[in-house]
Amino acid sequence: MHIPVLTKEVIEYLNPKPNENFIDCTIGQGGHSKLILEKTGPEGKILGIDLDPQQVENTKLQLADFKERIVLVNDSYSNLKDIVEKVNFKTVNGILLDLGMSSEQLEEAGRGFSFQKDELLDMRYNSEIPNPKSQIPNLTAEEIVNNWPEKEIERIFKEYGEERFARQIANKITEERKIKKINSTFQLVEIIKKAIPAKFQYGKTHFATRAFQALRIAVNDELNNLIEVLPQIISVLSPGGRVVIISFHSLEDRIVKNFFREKQKEEAIYPVKYREAVISPEAKLFNRVKILTKKPITADPEELNKNFRSRSAKLRAAIKI
């Protein structure tokens, strides 16, 4: 079973109370949602969203005891506002967005996410729901490594993976694909190995980790999806509602940090005369926030010892005011 990260911190910052409603934008196997549901009985509900249909099925099994209080939707969180309206999910007291992958997705999905198994280079979370906002809605990792220009592949590895050998790996990929089509994870791992100097192949992190991460982010348009959902999160939150976002990549964390800062800054430039005026409750919803975490919250030593994947998790939280 997937071990959710920063569980104590998620509960602390979301602060769920009896009968409150929450949205879990990437419900996975329901680890965080289970803890929230335990705090929000007897009437509190969870709207759980996941683009991976297998994760939705996993949640049904894992949270069977709470089935009367869960609404599950197989869709992208980038469509959050439409989903909320479609299922008529009202009074949202908190939203969680965990941008990490589950252990099952890495190890059991069979879609080429892991370099530990020989699988086809797919890396789509859901092949049945293309991203309509993407320029290439049904893009795969195989398409990128076999057909994209070398400079664009280099950019992906450098920007999304922060890979120091991005140029060398991109060059080796374009050389190898002239000889034989690259369609499996093990093929790609061997190509990456040839491109990276031997002394850099034996660190704590597997030498193919950054390249695989970069391809997954590109295939699923993850950074643009995050940019799309952030204003929707604040919009659907009720006044006083809290948002907690867990990221695992410096680019993701930067996007969240800058968005929260801009939303908090809106309070400072809001005209004084309007603050003092007597206006309707609806008119007060100006989608401003107060940041609850001055710095990103990371896993404590105890959690790091129990769950190695928590090492790169960063949590930021804010409250809608």
How do the residues of the chain divide into helix, strand and coil, expressed in percent and rounded to 5? Answer: 50, 15, 35
Residues 6+ apart with CB under 8 A from 227: 255
Q: Which residues pair with 65 in a beta bridge?
A: none
φ/ψ bin of 262: left (φ > 0), alpha (ψ from -120 to 50), beta (otherwise): alpha
Q: Residue 86's pLDDT is what?
A: 97
Question: 94 phi and psi, to 5 degrees?
Answer: -170, 150
Decide: helix, strand or coil at residue 85. Answer: helix
The 3-state secondary structure of 225-266 reads: HHHHHHHHHHHHEEEEEEEEEEECCHHHHHHHHHHHHHHHHH
Asked if 280 and 261 touch (Cβ cutoff 8 Å), the reply is no
pLDDT at 267: 54
pTM given for the model: 0.87
Structure tokens at 201: 């192949």
Q: How far apart are CA 300 and CA 277, in angstroms?
A: 45
CA within 13 Å, CB half, 22:
33
- Please report, as a single letter, which amino acid is at residue 288: R
If we measure between CA atoms, which residue out of 20, 74, 97, 93 comes closest to residue 317? 97
Residue with tokens 């869960």: 70
SS3 28: coil
Per-residue pLDDT of the chain (321 residues; tens, 9 = 90+): 568 999 999 999 999 999 999 999 999 889 999 999 999 999 999 999 999 888 899 899 999 999 999 999 999 999 999 999 999 999 999 999 999 876 555 666 678 998 988 999 999 988 776 665 555 668 999 999 999 999 999 999 999 999 999 999 999 999 999 999 999 999 999 999 999 999 999 888 899 999 999 999 999 999 999 999 999 999 999 999 999 999 999 999 999 999 999 999 875 544 443 334 333 444 444 578 999 999 999 999 999 998 888 899 999 999 999
Which contiguous run of DSSP H or E holds residue 169? helix 166-179
Strand arrangement, sheet containing 237-247: 70-74, 46-50, 22-24, 92-98, 237-247, 314-320, 289-291
> What stretch of H or E contains 71?
strand 70-74
Largest CA distance in the chain: 72
* Number of other CB atoms surrounding residue 19 within 10 Å: 13
- Domains along the chain with CATH numbers: 7-104+223-320 (3.40.50.150), 140-220 (1.10.150.170)
Phi-psi category of residue 66: left, alpha or beta, with phi > 0 → left and psi -120 to 50 → alpha: alpha
